[in-house]
Structure 1
Amino acid sequence: MKTLAIHWAGLWAGAPGTYGAYENGILGPTTWEYRRPYYAVRSGSAIFANCNSQDVIDLDLTLMLSSGISPMYLPYVSEPNWLLPGFGTEDPVFAAGMNGSIKGYFNSTLASKPQFCVLMEGYRAWWTPNTNVTGDWLQFMRAWVDKFFSNPNYYKWNGRPVWGMLNCANFAQYTSGNDYAVAKAKIDALRDYSVAQGYGNPYFICLDNNTSSGQYLGCDAYSQYAATYNNASNSQYPYSTLVAPTQAKWTNDKNTNSALTGLPLKVVPHITTGWDFRPRIGSGSNAGGENNPASWIATPTTAEFMAHYGAASAFINAYPTACESGLSICYAWNEFSEGGWLCPTAGDNYGDRIRAIAAFHGLAGPPAARINMSLQALMLSA
């Protein structure tokens, strides 16, 4: 099993009013100390972190490589002048750092680093508030293809560049007025362009909880971005409450026939690390209803998480036709405020989870770790 870990900008040193400042602020209270990543410095009831520092990016890549994990980056078209200069204006909030991690990957001079792939959000692929984007979707996505697929480290399965796709219904809405035939034609045109450039036919993985929209767009396989569960009260639920429906979806997708082709869906098992956005409640963020009371999932122990991780590997081995790519997608590397992470934190002895993943795959993994607060770096020792 090859694991792709969803990776976004996480925490960065944003100016007041930017998302970077917001994330640093809400994770400051010591209640959330167990979520503090190795690169975040604490000062009283505040933390300071900059995941877009090249030193941190290189450490992240080194840790992932040692554990057999590859990042699935989430680039933002709200910074179009990076991908397609001259078309659109950069969003002042998102441009402050949301593409920092993938930029850092390209800027890294490490001799060895993990392969990577990208995840496209359907609504952000074309529309983002405060962004004046000109040109059409295909024009921007050709720029993605040329920039990303041309990199020799881009992850491919069977010669096909892997591309995650989230919010397929929003994609159809914003690019094609909910006309799925038109929306699929755009995806097919992008496939044709990639093949013509010699990159191969992209392997589109739908990450929606409901597979219907992805089926009509002709996605090649199905997974999830984040797990869901029946939350009946404002209280804590055990990790098993999240794992059970996640693993049930693997089987349900395997047993579903595509509305477009009539053939059984291909599956990329989703692996969840948790779901608990309590730090965001009352923070002013409207994303995902974070201003509302909510239930949450207890942070899993390393043993609990690895039982779920092992189940994904066993499912792939048991159903090699359905799981043709041998891939799994893990939520997430660094969703610290939303509630899911693999990145070493104060709460997992700075790396117990990824050391366990490395051991599962027979890799040496990172050695014992400790944080050097003055240098804001993860120090590794045998």
Structure 2
Amino acid sequence: MGTNRILSPEKFHFRMPFFSKITVPNPVLLDQGFDTETTGAAPSGWTVSEGTGTSVAVVQGPDREGKSVYLRDTSATGMATMSRAFAAQSRAITLRWDWKEKAAGGWSRALVTGGSTTVVDIATQRDATGKHLAYRTPSGTWQVLQAIADDTWYSIKVTVDPTPPQGAAPWVDIFVGGVRKAHHVPLLSSPASFGKLHFQTNPNRTSDLYVDNVNVVVTESVNCEGTSQEVMDQEIRYAVAAGIDYWAFDYYPQQPLARARELYLSSDLNNQVNWCAILDGNFMAQYDANLTELVARFGESNYQKVLDGRPLVYILNNATAEKVAKMRSKATSAGLPDPYIVVMGWTAQGVADVKATVGADAVSRYATGQADGASYSSLTSLEASLWSDYAGAAGQVIPTVSTGWDPRPMYEYPVPWGVQPSDDYLGLEDQWTQQATPTDIAHHLGEAISWTNSHSANVPANAVLIYAWNEHLEGGWICPTMHEMQNSGRPLRLDAIAGVPRTA
């Protein structure tokens, strides 16, 4: 919906849905490693300034293969600088470089500027507490990022967003060695555009600085416009062709997240794929008003029914006995069958306890993932065991079939609704499972259907729930992707699902 920065790093492009378009043909603005340049010469393309007792030149090493740029400063009154302009941007960009000082904390600086205005200022510093890497705040104070050591290379990544979505304030994120050290800190200023990277030694002391592997890319490189009736209608056609019976919408009452459900309901094709609701805190926050709208949908022909006409409802969180009873009462008052209410939880006994407490009919699980790049087969093995665990604890269950788990894009570019620096957002870097093949997903779905058929007493609803149609950000999807359609011309995951028998 709108501009998508979340999945725009190149390594995640393969996940983008089929309707996405790359809007920046060449997002690389600068990529320079200096290895092919002439030793002893100034770095090509950079504007160099050498004060008295200083020099800027390409050198071999010193402690790595290839070459780097050495800013040498033997003067306490001058400084060595190197600046490189790139195409001025008013969009989000990511800058990377490696640097080191022989004697750390020499107040070397890296600056991102727009014209003569500094946007980001990062420096090495030395004081009574030690040697540190720090950034300058708008008030002029320095905020420490981490300690640094002599003669040690550090990889720096800086993401600058001057125009964040939904009117958020401009910000910068700073990574050191792949670990986020500063999250959404304010820019020093907000020029109309910025287009220069600048390195310098300190003008008031002797120091040195090595710089290597400088890279600048446009972060905002994907335009993801899925909010049209045309796109929704095509998604319905894809689902029908794969033999999908229903979509379980995360029921967002608010805009713009309600738009997907609205486009489905307004489609001329909406009777070809049924739908039901997954209720979370967004729905529960104004339960009575939202429940009236939902119960009115229960009687419509395309709302998913189970067990001879009972409307299917999943509750992800905030279920209470009062709310479950109110849903049943409203349905009865409307002359509708009793809804089949399924509560979701992350442990078998935990969700079984919720089921008993609130008076639900069955239990399920939203998704299953593994960490540290575990194999997809380890995910499916775990999930298959959970079907029996949940059934053993709660009786009735709807098995979940997870197609993957990899929320690392939210580590690369944290989302406003996700975990934030005050929470365990750094853990997202390791919370991922290796990507499944279409065959892997089909096999896992087949296992779930076979298990369902052999445990009919535990699955009277005769249903499974696939995670997910379009959780591209979290790594679980079956919706066709741009990668599939451009490279193969077919929705490969859906093709595989279409071939899975629906009977024992």
Same fold (TM over 0.5): yes
- Shift, 1:62, TM fit: 1.0
2:12 paired residue among 29, 32, 38: 32
Give 3-state SS (helix, strand or coil) of 1:188's partner.
Answer: helix
Question: Which segments of structure 1 move beyond 6 Å, counting only runs of 4 or more?
Answer: none
Residues in 1 aligned to 2:497 and 2:369: alpha-carbon distance in whole angstroms: 23
Give 3-state SS (helix, strand or coil) of 1:124's partner.
Answer: helix
Residues in 2 aligned to 1:295 and 1:283: alpha-carbon distance in whole angstroms: 15
TM-score (normalizing by structure 2): 0.55
Residues in 1 aligned to 2:444 and 2:501: alpha-carbon distance in whole angstroms: 15
Asked if 1:109 corresponds to 2:268, the answer is: yes
RMSD, matched Cα: 2.0
Q: Does the CA contact (< 8 Å) of 1:277 and 1:290 recur in 2?
A: no
Match of 2:282 in 1: 124
Give 3-state SS (helix, strand or coil) of 1:59's partner.
Answer: helix
- Shift, 1:34, TM fit: 1.4
Residues in 2 aligned to 1:140 and 1:28: alpha-carbon distance in whole angstroms: 34
Match of 1:154 in 2: 303
- Shift, 1:214, TM fit: 3.0
- Shift, 1:291, TM fit: 4.3
Q: Does the CA contact (< 8 Å) of 1:208 and 1:214 recur in 2?
A: no
Runs (5+) with no aligned partner, structure 2: 28-220
1:76 paired residue among 252, 268, 292: 252
Match of 2:291 in 1: 141
**Amino acid of the residue matched to residue 216 of structure 1?**
T
Q: In structure 2, do the counterparts of structure 1 residues 218 and 100 end up closer, same or farther at CA, with 3 Å as the change threshold?
A: same
**Amino acid of the residue matched to residue 124 of structure 1?**
N
**Amino acid of the residue matched to residue 221 of structure 1?**
A
Q: Does the CA contact (< 8 Å) of 2:249 and 2:261 recur in 1?
A: yes
Asked if 1:308 corresponds to 2:444, the answer is: yes
1:49 paired residue among 220, 224, 228: 224
1:287 paired residue among 418, 441, 447: 418
Residues in 2 aligned to 1:39 and 1:228: alpha-carbon distance in whole angstroms: 27
Q: Does the CA contact (< 8 Å) of 2:445 and 2:500 recur in 1?
A: no
- Shift, 1:347, TM fit: 4.3
Could you say which structure has the higher strand fraction? 2
Aligned pairs (5 A) from 1:176-187: 183-187=320-324
Q: Does the CA contact (< 8 Å) of 1:284 and 1:291 recur in 2?
A: no
Aligned pairs (5 A) from 1:1-382: 12-13=1-2, 21=3, 24-43=4-23, 44=25, 45=27, 46-69=221-244, 70-77=246-253, 79=254, 95=255, 97-110=256-269, 112-121=271-280, 123-127=281-285, 137-146=287-296, 148-158=297-307, 159-167=309-317, 171-172=318-319, 183-210=320-347, 211=351, 212-229=353-370, 231=371, 235-257=372-394, 265-285=395-415, 287-288=418-419, 289-292=424-427, 293-348=429-484, 349=488, 350-361=490-501
Give 3-state SS (helix, strand or coil) of 1:268's partner.
Answer: coil
Identity %: 25
Residues in 2 aligned to 1:99 and 1:140: alpha-carbon distance in whole angstroms: 12
Give 3-state SS (helix, strand or coil) of 2:5's partner.
Answer: helix
Give 3-state SS (helix, strand or coil) of 2:282's partner.
Answer: coil
Q: Does the CA contact (< 8 Å) of 1:68 and 1:361 recur in 2?
A: no
- Shift, 1:346, TM fit: 3.7
**Amino acid of the residue matched to residue 402 of structure 2?**
T
Match of 2:205 in 1: none
**Amino acid of the residue matched to residue 396 of structure 2?**
K
Q: In structure 2, do the counterparts of structure 1 residues 301 and 117 end up closer, same or farther at CA, with 3 Å as the change threshold?
A: same
- Shift, 1:290, TM fit: 4.1
Residues in 2 aligned to 1:284 and 1:64: alpha-carbon distance in whole angstroms: 30
Aligned pair count reads: 292
- Shift, 1:41, TM fit: 0.8
Render the CA deviation track for 1:24-70: whole Å, top value 9, x for unaligned. Answer: 11212221121021111113341212222110000011111121212
Match of 1:88 in 2: none
**Quick one: higher RCO (CA 8 Å, sep 6+), 1 or 2?**
1
TM-score (normalizing by structure 1): 0.72
Q: In structure 2, do the counterparts of structure 1 residues 103 and 240 end up closer, same or farther at CA, with 3 Å as the change threshold?
A: same
Give 3-state SS (helix, strand or coil) of 2:222's partner.
Answer: strand
Q: Does the CA contact (< 8 Å) of 2:407 and 2:431 recur in 1?
A: no
Work out which of the two has the higher radius of gyration on C-alpha atoms and give 1 or 2: 2
Render the CA deviation track for 1:75-96: whole Å, top value 9, x for unaligned. Answer: 213x2xxxxxxxxxxxxxxx2x
Runs (5+) with no aligned partner, structure 1: 1-11, 14-20, 80-94, 128-132, 173-182, 258-264, 363-382
Residues in 1 aligned to 2:343 and 2:385: alpha-carbon distance in whole angstroms: 17
Residues in 2 aligned to 1:294 and 1:214: alpha-carbon distance in whole angstroms: 32
Residues in 2 aligned to 1:327 and 1:351: alpha-carbon distance in whole angstroms: 23
Give 3-state SS (helix, strand or coil) of 1:281's partner.
Answer: helix
Residues in 1 aligned to 2:10 and 2:491: alpha-carbon distance in whole angstroms: 20
- Shift, 1:250, TM fit: 0.4
Q: In structure 2, do the counterparts of structure 1 residues 227 and 359 end up closer, same or farther at CA, with 3 Å as the change threshold?
A: same
Residues in 2 aligned to 1:149 and 1:308: alpha-carbon distance in whole angstroms: 31
Give 3-state SS (helix, strand or coil) of 1:163's partner.
Answer: strand
Give 3-state SS (helix, strand or coil) of 1:72's partner.
Answer: strand
